[in-house]
Amino acid sequence: METRQALRPLRILFHATSPVTHTPVFRSVASRRHQSTASRTKKMLKIPPHPDFLTPVSGQNHIIYNPPPSTASVYHTPFKFLPKSDPRRQANLSQLLRSSPDLHPSSRSATALPPLTRKTEAREKKYNVTREQVEEMRELRAKDPMKWSVLNLAKKYDCSPVFIMMCCKASPEHRGREKERLEAIKARWGPIRTEARNEKKKRRVLLFQGAL
């Protein structure tokens, strides 16, 4: 009896420290419908419009005017439906000739026309450069290619840059300097710009091949 009383605190301590296993309880979760479903949301959003935004049934005090169709008038009959011997042909034709300003070219002036655009002027070919001017271009280009560039020569002699490049070729020294300047610019490029330029070259080749 005394032994049981002595071991009782140990038994209580053992039960307090031992893990307790709980049996899992499975509860059935039933699906519930809330107001957030699609059909209920559409039904809730079906609000009738305000009477101020409704079109009045009677009257024509709104922006849309659709009168009932009327009978066709004989004064507006097209020539397609008139016989050739109908006198209305001559009457309508004379009225059209008197009222149309496009049929009187003498009444139109050149000042009423729109001005020429740069694209229209660029499409017009010019043959105003003589042989002496071509020789002068070559001398200026060989003397100072930095000052007399292709664009400056084209502006001076009023011709296209393509014609300047056909007539005048830069010296090998000038082309070498331009190549070195371009290489110095490319050396400052980062990997992103270098990759972009390479992709641009590939797209250009594919474009000329008709692959794009």
pLDDT at 196: 94
Give the domain extent around 201: 173-212
187 and 181 in contact (C-beta within 8 Å)?
no
pLDDT at 38: 75
Residues 190 and 207 in one domain: yes
What would the pLDDT profile of 85-103 be if each residue is shown by its tens digit?
888 777 767 666 666 555 5
Distant-in-sequence contacts of 202-211, Cβ < 8 A, 24+ apart: none
Q: H/E/C letters for each residue in 76-108? A: HCCHHHCCCCCCHHHHHHHHHHHHCCCCCHHHC
Polymer length of the chain: 212
Residues 166 and 178 in one domain: no
pLDDT at 78: 76
User: 83 lies in a domain?
Assistant: no
Q: H/E/C letters for each residue in 155-188? A: HHHCCCHHHHHHHCCCCHHHHHHHHHHHHHHHHC
Q: What is the pTM of this model?
A: 0.38
Side chain identity at 101, as an amino acid letter? P
How far apart (Å, rounded) are the C-alpha atoms in residues 183 and 206? 25
What would the pLDDT profile of 27-61 be if each residue is shown by its tens digit?
555 566 665 677 777 888 888 888 877 766 655 56
User: 178 lies in a domain?
Assistant: yes
User: 141 lies in a domain?
Assistant: yes
Other CB atoms within a 10 A radius of the CB of residue 191 amount to 7
pLDDT at 99: 61
pLDDT at 128: 80
Q: Six-digit token pair at 79?
A: 């020539």
Residues 210 and 177 in one domain: yes
pLDDT at 48: 85
Q: In the chain, how many domains are there?
A: 2
User: 152 lies in a domain?
Assistant: yes
pLDDT at 210: 86
How far apart (Å, rounded) are the C-alpha atoms in residues 7 and 12? 9
User: 29 lies in a domain?
Assistant: no
pLDDT at 204: 92
Last residue of a domain, one of 137, 154, 170: 170
User: 48 lies in a domain?
Assistant: no
What is the residue-wise DSSP string for 10-61? HHHHHHHHSPPPPPP----------TTSHHHHHHHH-PPPPGGGSPPSSSS-
User: 42 lies in a domain?
Assistant: no
Q: Six-digit token pair at 106?
A: 């003498």
Residues 159 and 143 in one domain: yes
User: 150 lies in a domain?
Assistant: yes
pLDDT at 158: 86
Name the residue with tokens 């393509």: 162
Residues 199 and 182 in one domain: yes
Segments in the chain below pLDDT 50: 25
